[in-house]
Amino acid sequence: MMMLSDQETMIRDMARKIGNDVLAPTAAERDRTSSWPTEELKVLAAQGFMGMTVPEEFGGSETGFLAYCLAIEEISAADGGIGTIVHVHSLGATHIIATHGNAEQKARLLPAMAAGEKIGAFLMTEPQAGSDTSALRTTARRDGDDFIINGTKQFISNGNEAGVAIVLARTNPNAGKRGFTTFLVEPPADGYVVARVEEKMGQRTAHVAQIQLDDLRVPAANVLGSVDGGYAIGMSGLSDGRISIAAQSVGIAQAALDAAVRFAREREVGGKPIIELQGVAFELAEMAMQVDVARQYYIHAARLLEAGQPCAKEASIAKLFASEIAEKVCSQAIQIHGGYGYLSDFPVERYYRDARVCKIYEGTSHIQKHIIARNL
């Protein structure tokens, strides 16, 4: 494995222990009931994992980006849904506030977010606009010392649980991409309406909501960054978000590989474990190769980002490759389990469902290919 620092190794190992001891034992039940992991998030917060992108002066652990990705991998191996909750809270909210917020905003919001007392969400996607962010229709008009926001946001992770929501809205309809502003909202608030919580194929503990913004009044003091400067803020986290999802994909794939190896050692055919059958052994070897290569590449991309190097292509390669192999590895793990893999008694069917969305959010596989090709 690419060499890690002592601190990175410690954070990874701590996340792995919490994953094994706290998150994994109850993951199947949360998946069955779609229940929000309140107690599990408290444990993660107590160990600094809800403040990984928050400066220490505001109560965060400020781990560094690669250490953050290593933690996301381990958390996601235990429960992919919790990996998404932490990812959106961290990169979709706390990191953006820490980077673009003013002194008052950071001091007011970040300590509670780092402590897990307020969960973060980012409200960008709309029913008619996903990858085409310039087509967003949510508007914000000035009204004295406030802005009044109207619109509908779709597929909002943490949206119904958020204590801090960053909302991207159009403030200048004639300025194209230069006419958007980001606002800080603190639900519950009049005009912030959870229209529905979606029922999903996987990651059921990670709630995704449609949010209706009906005459939502936000003080001008809650503008994040500058008026009409929100589009750049919204786009600023693309590479780190994609590398983070690559780490999540690797975590889920590793969990599926581990489960397949355990089953292949225990399941016997003709008096010997099926792992001794060349067909099964070779399939496991291929799965291990794919997981290891995906891990090495996301670590490479994360190091580039930490060093301040351009890495849009590398981030897209990491996300595309890791999310694609995650689905394949999880599918192969089911196959190795045979009929048992199709039952909810075994975790591999949950891993498969949890991994599938990794090819969709933070930019679909088609978008990643477009970015890679554009950078050739």
Positions marked active-site: 362
Write the CB contacts of 77 (distance below 8 Å, at least 6 apart in sequence). 16, 19, 251, 252, 254, 255
| 212: β partners | 152, 193
Token couple for 59: 């109560």
Q: Determine the 3-state secondary structure of 102 from DSSP.
A: coil
Are 221 and 53 in contact, with CB atoms under 8 Å apart?
A: no
Rounded to whole angstroms, how far apart are CA atoms 218 and 149?
8
Rounded to whole angstroms, how far apart are CA atoms 365 and 356?
11
Write the CB contacts of 133 (distance below 8 Å, at least 6 apart in sequence). 124, 168, 231, 234, 235
The two most distant CA atoms of the chain are separated, in Å, by 79
DSSP H helical ranges for 101-237: 103-114, 230-235
Neighbours of 282 (CB within 10 A): 10
